Structure 1
Amino acid sequence: MRVLKEIPTPHYKITLYAWNNRYIIKLEQGLLEQTFKVNEFDVTSEADIEKMIDETFLKEAMERFNSMSRSLGEALNRV
């Protein structure tokens, strides 16, 4: 797996990878992470991947991180 780029944001660590004819978008926030795989034939360039990571994409990712955090907290409380 080859690291293509890290994209700085105030809320997450975003890393773009290239691996097995796919682009991988990895978002990390604390102990949680989200990973998206995009077939390299579905986009024309790495720049298209960066365009995908727009305000809407990041807002939806934040909502998922919040949901993931709640789920993890609730599961830990049941233990």
Structure 2
Amino acid sequence: MRYIKDIPHQQFKISIYQWNNKYIIKIEAGMFEQTYKIDEYEITNLEEIEKCIDEPFLIKVSARFEAMHEDFDKTLKRNDVIF
């Protein structure tokens, strides 16, 4: 996997990679991450990817991170891993 660039953001670490004829958008928050893939032939340049990482999208990403955290916390408690 080849690193392309980071997209600055105050809340998330957003990185773009290229691998297997796809661009991979990796968004990290703490110990969780979300990955989105798009075929290289779907876009003409990287600016199109950056344009798609807009505020409405990132609001949904944030909500998904919150849900991931809640789900993981619940399973840890349910299975007596943490109290």
Identical-residue share of aligned pairs (%): 46
SS class of match (2:6): strand
Structure 1 residues not aligned, in runs of 5+: none
Question: C-alpha offsets along residues 24-54 of structure 1, whole Å, 9 cap, x if unaligned?
Answer: 0000000000000001111111111111100
Q: TM-score, normalised by structure 1?
A: 0.96
Q: TM-score, normalised by structure 2?
A: 0.92
What do you get for the CA RMSD once the two structures are aligned? 0.7
Which protein is bigger by CA-based radius of gyration?
Answer: 2
Counterpart CA distance in 2 for 1:3 and 1:78 is: 38
Structure 2 residues not aligned, in runs of 5+: none
Aligned positions, number: 79
Counterpart CA distance in 1 for 2:23 and 2:10 is: 23
* Aligned-residue offset at 1:7: 1.1
Matches within 5 A, 1:1-79: 1-79=1-79
Structure 1's consecutive aligned runs of 4 or more residues displaced over 6 angstroms after TM superposition are none
Counterpart CA distance in 2 for 1:40 and 1:53 is: 17
